[in-house]
Chains A and B, each alone.
Chain A
Amino acid sequence: MSDEFVPLPAKIGMVSLEMGLNWHVASDCKQYLMFHAGVVAKEGVGLIMPAASGSGKSTLAAGLSYRGWQLHSDEFGLYDMNSQELVPYPRAVSLKNESIAVMRDWVSSVDDKYNEYFTEEFHGTPKGTICYMRPHKDSIDKMHVKTRPNLIILPIFDATATPEIRPITKAMAFFRLVLSSANYGDIGKDAFLAISRIIEESEVCEIIYPNLEEAVKLVEEFVEKTSESRGQL
Chain B
Amino acid sequence: MSDQIKNITFNVPDGNNFLWSEWEDASVVYDKRSGHTQVLNEFAREILALFEDGPKKFDDICFELEEIMGNDLDDESLALIFQTINGFDSMGLIEPV
Chain A interface residues toward B at CB < 8 A? 169-171, 174-175, 178, 185, 188-189, 192-193, 196, 199-200
Q: Are B30 and A199 touching (Cβ within 8 A)?
A: no
Taking a contact as CB atoms closer than 8 A, the residue among B32, B35, B39 that contacts A171 in the complex is B39
The docked-state distance in angstroms from the alpha carbon of A19 to that of B39 is: 34
Shortest CB distance A149–B (Å): 16
A189 to B30, Cβ gap below 8 A?
yes
- Highest count of chain A CB atoms <10 Å: which of B28, B32, B39: B28
Q: Which B-chain residue is minimally distant from A171 (CB atoms)?
A: B26
Interface size on B, residues (CB 8 A): 13
| In-complex Cβ contact of A196 among B24, B26, B28, B39 (8 A) | B28
List chain A residues, Cβ under 8 A from B26: 169-171
Within 8 Å CB of B28, what residues of A? 171, 174-175, 196
Determine if B77 is an interface residue (Cβ-Cβ < 8 Å): no
Which residues of chain A come closer than 8 Å to B35, judged between CB atoms?
A: 185, 188
Selected from B19, B23, B32, the residue in CB contact (under 8 A) with A170 is: B23
Q: Which of B10-46 contact A (CB under 8 A)?
A: 19, 21, 23-28, 30, 32, 35, 37, 39
Q: A196 vs B22: C-alpha distance in the bound complex, in angstroms?
A: 9
A-B contact sample (19 more), CB < 8 A, given A175-B39, A192-B37: A169-B23, A169-B26, A170-B23, A170-B25, A170-B26, A171-B23, A171-B26, A171-B28, A171-B39, A174-B28, A174-B39, A185-B35, A188-B32, A189-B19, A189-B30, A192-B30, A193-B19, A196-B21, A200-B21
Report Cα–Cα, A63/B35, bound state, in Å.
Answer: 37
Q: Chain B contacts of A193 at CB under 8 A? A: 19
Residues in chain A near residue B39, CB distance under 8 A: 171, 174-175
Assembled-state Cα–Cα distance A188/B35 (Å): 6
In the complex, the answer to whether B30 meets A174 with C-beta atoms within 8 Å is no
Q: How far is the CA of A73 from the CA of B26 in the complex (A)?
A: 31
Chain A hits for B25, CB < 8 A: 169-171
Residues of B within 8 A of A192 (CB): 19, 21, 30, 37
Complex CA–CA separation, A200 to B22 (angstroms): 9
Q: Is the pair B37, A178 in contact by a Cβ cutoff of 8 Å?
A: yes
| A174: contacting residue among B21, B24, B32, CB under 8 A | B21
B32 to chain A, nearest CB (A): 6
**A192, B35: Cα distance in complex, Å:** 9
CB distance from B23 to the nearest CB of A (A): 4
* Nearest-Cβ distance from residue A161 to partner chain B, whole angstroms: 25
Residues in B whose Cβ lies below 8 Å from that of A199: 21, 23
Q: How far is the CA of A169 from the CA of B26 in the complex (A)?
A: 8
> B77 to nearest A CB, angstroms?
22
Shortest Cβ distance from residue A120 to the other chain B in the assembled complex, whole angstroms: 44
CA distance in complex: A189, B37 (Å): 10
A178: B residues at CB distance < 8 A = 37
Instruction: Name 30 interchain pairs, CB-CB below 8 A, sorted by A.
Output: A169-B23, A170-B23, A170-B24, A170-B25, A170-B26, A171-B23, A171-B25, A171-B26, A171-B27, A171-B28, A171-B39, A174-B21, A174-B28, A174-B39, A175-B28, A175-B39, A178-B37, A185-B35, A188-B32, A188-B35, A189-B19, A189-B32, A192-B19, A192-B21, A193-B19, A196-B21, A196-B28, A199-B21, A199-B23, A200-B21
